Every structure is written in C-alpha cells, then in structure tokens.
Amino acid sequence: HVVLRRAVLGMRMAVNVRVSDFLGVAVRGIDDTQMLVLVHRDPALSIPLGSSSDADEITSAWQMWSDIFRLPQLTEPAPRMPSPRRRRRNAIRARRPKFLVRRRAGFRLNAASMHRGEREIIARD
C-alpha cells in the first residue's frame, strides 16, 4: 500500500491507498521536462514519482516503476478544453421561491360548470 500524508484545513492525516487502486504509471509532459505520475481515479490522490528533461532517463524510470508496482504504463492524452457550462434544467426555479414552485400557478374553475359556445334552455315556472 501507499501512504499519503496530507494536511486538510490544518489537520494532519495519513491516507492508506492500495497499489491495486491506482490505474498505472503515466508520463506527463510539462514544457521541456517530463514527469512520472502514479495515476489514481481521483486526481487528488495521484502521486508524482519524479521528473527529468532527459527522455532516456524518464523511459527507464517509467519501466522500473511499472515493474515495481506491477501496473501498466499509461500515456497521458493532451489536456482537453473545458466543456461549456450546461444550462439549468428548470429556468423558472431560479426566479421563484421553493414553496411557490410547489403551489398551483392560478385558480382553476371546474370544467363541468363552464358552458361555452352553446345556448342554454332555462325552464322557468
């Protein structure tokens, strides 16, 4: 297992993560230098292993770390552009208070008592 020592809001903590939880060992290119990273599904738990500007040194270290942890060698794809912000599902919800959203919008008359477009015959005594 791998022990990550972090401080969250001033509180020190140690997180134990199994090696099998990591996806693999990846090479990330940053300008002239390249960095080896132990990649986890959660990006906050990814661990940098080393960096160098020498391509042969990185390749040999990449193979070595992959053999030590028995994890696959990964190549990092180029960073993607952030996706555009999604629209809210209900536009009116932002305009009306929550308790008013649950209420009916207007007063409805009983449809059976309304007579439109017809003539009524009223019997008088």
How large is the average pLDDT for residues 7-32? 87
Angle at CA 68, nearest 5°, toward 77 and 28?
Answer: 20
Element (H, E) at 98: helix 98-102
pLDDT score for 106: 59
53: DSSP letter: S
The pLDDT, as a whole number, for residue 66 is 92
In a domain, 86, yes or no: no
Q: Both ends of the chain: CA-CA distance in Å? A: 97
Count: domains in the chain: 1
Quick check: is 32 in a domain? Answer: yes
> Which amino acid is located at 23 in the chain?
L
Residue 48 in any domain: the answer is: yes
Q: Is residue 69 part of a domain?
A: yes
Both tokens of 52, joined, read: 């160098």
pLDDT band at 7 (very low <50, low <70, confident <90, very high): confident
| Domain annotation covers residue 70 | yes
Range of the domain at 29: 22-75
Residue 54: inside a domain:
yes
Q: Give the mean pLDDT of 5-34.
A: 87
**Pair 114, 108: CB distance under 8 Å:** no
Neighbouring C-beta atoms of residue 38, cutoff 10 Å? 20
Averaged confidence pLDDT in the chain: 79
Alpha helices in the chain (DSSP H): 55-69, 98-102
For 80-111, write each residue's pLDDT tens digit.
667 677 666 666 556 666 666 666 655 555 65
For residue 31, is it within any domain? yes
Q: Is 92 in a helix, a strand, or coil? A: helix
- The percentage of the chain sitting over the pLDDT mark of 90, rounded to a whole number, equals 20
| Domain assignment of residue 49, yes or no | yes
* pLDDT value for 60: 93
Identify which of 24, 19, 18 has the alpha carbon closest to the alpha carbon of residue 36.
24
